[in-house]
């Protein structure tokens, strides 16, 4: 029972942290205390937090290294942008919030479908092979999207593959990406999406399905012989993560006036992986913090202008060294012992 309470408290802290961060940022924005560039980062931060937490579901809880997470984000981004454009131009839906919600849902569904299609071949593989193939699929998605042309008129949507001559206004112009997007993403929507992601991932991981996913991670053969259908649960983790990434993508896409597939290149997948690894594999709260800080960091480092990314890299290395430092770790653990709630589980000697 003690362990359960500790877990509950831990989750509560994560939720409280996100709520507090949202409230503080909103207050700062309303009070005009936040710089313009930082204000512009609010929605992307939410998106990257969702990306990191959902990738943590695959890497930390399911134990499979996926390097194509940005691919699902791009599917979500473009389907979100197209849905929003279609609702506005074809159905004259003026309500931006409703459009945003429908676009996010559409992004999630389409990314989920992509997740199923890619998951079927990919989840037959293990370890390094799976990582390489997800990387490849991430790039394939991006390149396919480069060839898609979508336009809208009163009749509805028109699609062309490698064929830009479509009637109506172009929503998606092949390699030029989606243009003339109406920016309808809001920080509030981002906050809701982050909370939704946290609920899904935290609740899933402490339920029957989540335990099955973790069992497969720990010992596939044993899980199988306990009657756990391995493929089903691996798929569940992979597709859930894809859906969440798609939703984050839709929000991300609708935050800019132009969306090109270059924004979802392989290095973005690696970036998200960096958030997960730095935050601690399997630690949801860590992912949230790492994603938020590391998204803001390059922005804060603008003072270094050209050396920005260099400094960013050095900071990353320093953080990694610091978090692996036994001295620091021991000190942190000692600190935890004195706190009532943060006490680490003493796995070990039987009572």
C-beta of 271 vs 287, nearer to other proteins? 287
104 or 214: CB nearest other proteins: 214
Interactions with other proteins, residue window 2-61 (CB under 8 A): 2-3
Nearest to 137 by CA among 242, 27, 5: 242
Q: What angle do CA 129, 134, 137 make, to 5 degrees?
A: 130
Reading the block at residue 335, the tokens are 């600190």
In sequence order, what are the residues at sequence separation of 6 or more whose Cβ sits closer than 8 angstroms to the Cβ of residue 49?
194, 197, 287, 288, 291, 292
Does 176 participate in binding other proteins (rule CB under 8 A)?
no
Q: Are 270 and 243 in contact (CB under 8 A)?
A: no
Tokens read off for 194 = 């982050």
Using CB under 8 A as the binding criterion, the count of chain residues that bind other proteins stands at 33
Instruction: Give min distance, CB of 154 to other proteins, in A.
Output: 38
- H or E segment and range at residue 227: none
- Nearer CB in complex with other proteins: 3/334: 3
Q: Of 253, 235, 204, 205, which is closest to residue 99 (Cα–Cα)? A: 253
Spatial neighbors of 193 by CB under 8 A, at least 6 apart, are 46, 47, 50, 104, 247, 248, 251
C-beta of 211 vs 265, nearer to other proteins: 211
- CB 253, min distance to other proteins, A: 25
State the binding string over 316-345 for other proteins (x if CB under 8 A, else -): -----------------------------x
How far apart are alpha carbons 15 and 2 in whole angstroms? 20
Contact 165, 156 (CB under 8 A): no
Shortest distance in whole angstroms from residue 61 CB to other proteins: 11
We find the least distance from the C-beta atom of residue 68 to other proteins, in angstroms, to be 23
Dihedral Cα 147, 162, 172, 103, nearest 10 deg: -70
Q: With binding defined as CB under 8 A, does residue 347 bind other proteins?
A: yes
Binding mask 61-100 for other proteins (x = CB under 8 A): ----------------------------------------
**Restricting to residues 193-232, which ones interact with other proteins according to CB under 8 A?**
199-200, 203-204, 207-212, 214-215, 217-219, 221-230
Residue 191 Cβ vs other proteins, minimum distance, rounded to whole Å: 19
* Residue 2 C-beta: closest distance to other proteins, Å: 6
In the bound complex, what is the minimum distance in angstroms from residue 348's beta carbon to other proteins? 5
Question: Token pair of 264, please?
Answer: 């979802």
- Residues near other proteins (CB under 8 A) are 2-3, 199-200, 203-204, 207-212, 214-215, 217-219, 221-230, 236, 345, 347-348, 350-351
């Amino acid at each position: 029972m003690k362990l359960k309470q500790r877990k509950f408290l831990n989750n509560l802290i994560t939720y409280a942290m996100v709520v507090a961060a949202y409230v503080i940022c909103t207050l700062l924005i309303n009070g005009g205390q936040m710089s313009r560039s930082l204000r512009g980062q609010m929605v992307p931060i939410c998106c990257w937090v969702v990306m990191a937490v959902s990738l943590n579901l695959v890497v930390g809880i399911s134990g499979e290294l996926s390097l194509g997470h940005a691919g699902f984000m791009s599917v979500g981004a473009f389907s979100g942008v197209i849905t929003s454009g279609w609702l506005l131009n074809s159905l004259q839906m003026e309500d931006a919030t409703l459009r945003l919600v429908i676009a996010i849902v559409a992004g999630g569904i389409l990314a989920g479908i992509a997740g199923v299609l890619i998951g079927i071949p990919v989840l037959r593989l293990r370890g390094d092979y799976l990582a390489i193939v997800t990387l490849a699929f991430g790039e394939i998605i991006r390149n396919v999207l480069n060839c898609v042309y979508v336009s809208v008129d009163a009749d509805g949507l028109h699609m062309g593959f490698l064929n830009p001559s479509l009637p109506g206004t172009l929503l998606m112009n092949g390699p030029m990406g989606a243009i003339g997007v109406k920016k309808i993403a809001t920080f509030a929507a981002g906050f809701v999406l982050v909370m939704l992601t946290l609920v899904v991932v935290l609740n899933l991981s402490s339920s029957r399905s989540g335990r099955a996913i973790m069992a497969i991670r720990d010992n596939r053969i044993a899980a199988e012989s306990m009657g756990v259908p391995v493929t089903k649960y691996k798929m569940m983790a992979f597709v859930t993560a894809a859906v969440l990434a798609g939703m984050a993508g839709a929000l991300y896409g609708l935050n800019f006036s132009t969306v090109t597939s270059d924004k979802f290149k392989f290095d973005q997948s690696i970036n998200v992986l960096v958030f997960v690894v730095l935050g601690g594999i399997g630690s949801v709260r860590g992912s949230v913090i790492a994603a938020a800080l590391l998204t803001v960091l390059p922005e804060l480092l603008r003072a270094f202008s050209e050396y920005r990314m260099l400094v960013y890299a050095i900071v990353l290395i320093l953080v990694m060294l610091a978090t692996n430092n036994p001295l620091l770790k021991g000190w942190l653990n000692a600190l935890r012992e004195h706190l009532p709630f943060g006490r680490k589980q003493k796995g070990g000697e039987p009572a």
